[in-house]
């Protein structure tokens, strides 16, 4: 049974949970997206992070890294990266915080059109740092017990 805030769904066991959570700030030009992506079995977290960062630089037009650092989420290191790129809609300013948990890569992505102010970035990073990991789902729960 897949649990989300609004209720539950009987999702077949062979389906994979790649759900997104999208939070739009009152200014309507900034958002926080939390998603989960399955990782390859046995792949080291560092390898997952490296491959993800490589995808950014390869697939995002005009990609420019601004800053990289490390946070701690739920007691575990989490790489963070700030960058800009050019989307069809215009310049995007993003910060991504990544953490491998079990067989999933969790990404917390802050996106602002044009410029992300230092104050807004700090505000959103403070929200991300409140992340507390849930207990891993059992096989019966599938991989999405706490959506």
Could you tell me the domains of the chain? 17-128 (3.40.1000.10)
Confidence of residue 138 (pLDDT cuts 50, 70, 90): low
Q: How far apart are CA 99 and CA 107, in angstroms?
A: 7
pLDDT in tens, 91-134: 999 999 999 998 899 999 999 998 999 999 999 999 999 999 98
Output the CA torsion sign for 42, 128, 133, 34: negative
146 or 14, higher pLDDT: 14
Distances (CA, A) of 136 to 41, 49, 96, 99: 16, 21, 23, 14
pLDDT in tens, 34-59: 999 999 989 999 999 999 999 999 99
pTM for this predicted structure: 0.85
């Amino acid at each position: 049974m897949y649990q989300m805030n609004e209720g539950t769904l009987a999702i077949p066991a062979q389906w994979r949970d790649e759900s997104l959570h999208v939070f739009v700030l009152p200014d309507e030009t900034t958002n926080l997206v939390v998603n989960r992506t399955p990782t390859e079995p046995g792949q080291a977290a560092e390898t997952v992070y490296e491959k993800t960062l490589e995808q950014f630089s390869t697939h995002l037009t005009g990609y420019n890294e601004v800053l990289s650092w490390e946070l701690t989420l739920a007691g575990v290191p989490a790489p963070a990266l700030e960058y800009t790129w050019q989307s069809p809609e215009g310049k995007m300013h993003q910060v991504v915080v990544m953490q491998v948990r079990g067989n999933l890569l969790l990404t917390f992505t802050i996106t602002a059109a044009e410029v992300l102010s230092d104050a807004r970035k700090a505000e959103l990073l403070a929200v991300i740092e409140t992340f507390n990991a849930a207990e891993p789902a059992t096989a019966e729960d599938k991989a999405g017990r706490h959506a």
